[in-house]
Chain A
Amino acid sequence: MRVLLLLMGLTAMAAAQDDDIVWLDNYAEAVKTAKATGKPIFLEFRCEP
């Protein structure tokens, strides 16, 4: 469970601390951005009930 929390915290920290990493919350927008930039997509599914 500790590793899971670490990974979840890590990606959250990325959004908070690093201006270069922007976490989108819309899949269609991610695909559109990937088409425009040529970058691959790093997609995270997270359960946050």
Chain B
Amino acid sequence: MLSPKDSPLGKLLRQYVTVRIIRMDAIDIGLFEHDRNNTIYFYILNADEQIYLRYGGRDNASPDTYLNLDSLTLAAAKGLELHANRPPAPPRPKPDFPKNYPLLVERTFARNQCVECHLIGDYQNLHRQLDGTLDKMTHLYRSPDLKRVGIFLDVPQGLVIKEATGAAAAAGVQPGDRIAQWAGKVVWTFADVQHRFNETPRKAREAHLTVERGGKMVEVTMALPPQWWWSETKFRQSSVEPRFYFDDRPLTAAEKQELGLPAEGFASRVKYVSSTARTMELHGLQEDDVIAAIDGKRVDPDAHTASLYLILRKTPGDAATLEVLRGGKRIEMPLKTMQMSFRK
């Protein structure tokens, strides 16, 4: 029977001071810096606030893709081992607190409402937008997905790789390898890796990792594919992301050639249009339309689809003109974007 009292995890937890935080008001979010769109996230640290490891993380498919009782037990055991050996402490990050964000204060503290994790993330981005430091590729596309570079983990076993494809396979990563370091930093859990992967500058073209293979450490340099940082953002409640209520997919090279569109362009085919787009009169797109250009532009160094172009280059409320191919005809179509509003 699963019981903390009798389970391996329960025995390990008894050796810790356990604390559960559900209000972020007084928490140093500079020290505990993680993707605020995680429903649950763990840290193991000491009384000097030296973080040994993190546990948690998610992908766009589910909040619990990388959560597992076995890997949490491994992490709890590793935490005790690290506490006994005391690795050197890295420099402490600059302290930061929710109260440093006036818009967050105005709309939570001042109304005696809960400072929810995802609100912290969104208001940080709103402030970045106001002071001109918002970098959408970094701040909207948090927590790049390891699967995007072809790394599929054996989740119960922590950082053991189950399957390597794409960029990872091309770099020599093999099934059975255990990720030991990412960008020169020791990692013990998926959350550690995701945290370090997220620190990678979005213009980077390489990632450096060390894997343990057959008891030996092997250095790997992995060439990062275009848009390696991209992930689905639908689960994120972001009010700095323009909303336009359609989904698309990049055209294939053959489709672009057939339509006479540039191979490096962001032309895409519409897969789905929400009824919200019609209700709010945002645009007249239909499924199977091809968006060939936006405001006369067909190519962008960072976008591989029209929707990504809109997210990166437009702010909520902006308008644009689409060049749409439908049934052999070329249509010029206006598009409006919206701002998401929730509990504000």
Contact = CB atoms under 8 A, between A and B. Distances in A.
Interface of A: 1-4, 6-8, 10-11, 13-14, 17-18, 20-31, 33-35, 37-49
Contacts of A7: 40, 64, 67, 69, 72
B110 interface: no
Interface in B23-62: 24, 26-27, 32, 34, 38-47, 49, 52, 62
Contacts of B254: none
B21 interface: yes
B79 to A, nearest CB: 6
B20 A23 contact: yes
19 contacts: A6-B2, A7-B67, A10-B4, A10-B9, A11-B4, A18-B4, A18-B14, A21-B13, A25-B20, A27-B19, A28-B26, A40-B80, A41-B16, A42-B16, A42-B42, A42-B44, A43-B32, A45-B38, A46-B40
Interface residues of B, number: 48
B166 interface: no
A41 B46 CA distance: 6
Given A45-B40, A45-B42, A23 B116 contact: no
B45 A40 contact: yes
B10 interface: yes
Interface string B60-97: 00111001110010001001100100000000000000
Contact of A20 (B14, B27, B41): B14
Contacts of B331: none
